Amino acid sequence: MSKSYEIQGTIHSIGETTEYGNNGFTKREFVIKVTGEEENSAYPNHVALELTRDKCPLMDSYSPGDEIKAHFNLSGRLWSGGGKPEKCFTSLQAWRVESVGSGSGFSPGDDYTPPVPEDFEDIPF
């Protein structure tokens, strides 16, 4: 099981849910501008996170400009294919999103770790 992290920021953009392959694997990306006392406003820090499968709808109730806290797992893997050089992919996979200050949000539980699909190895992202 990987370690969970959290990040707070203002939503910059929310992508559409996209389906990959024939197995129904879905992914949705969103970008936040990190906020907090340690952030330097002169050099904004934008971070892209992703939601997968049944977590894609978590962003449906949010809009750009909303302040959120996202809980996520850091994951990475190596991929090589078609005779190309090996490449490392890193993902910030969000599993809980909540409004800052409300204490509410969509949550499957604090110990939730999203499963890695069996056929995930063939997807080059």
Q: What is the pLDDT of residue 104?
A: 46
Q: What is the pLDDT of residue 108?
A: 42
Structural domains of the chain sorted by starting position, each given as residue range(s) with its CATH number in brackets: 4-104 (2.40.50.140)
Q: What is the pLDDT of residue 109?
A: 44
3-state secondary structure of 64: coil
- Compute mean pLDDT per 10 residues along the chain, 125 residues long, and list them: 87 96 93 92 95 96 97 93 90 96 49 51 55
Beta strand segments in 44-107, E: 46-52, 67-79, 87-99, 105-106
pTM to 2 decimal places: 0.75
Q: What is the pLDDT of residue 105?
A: 46
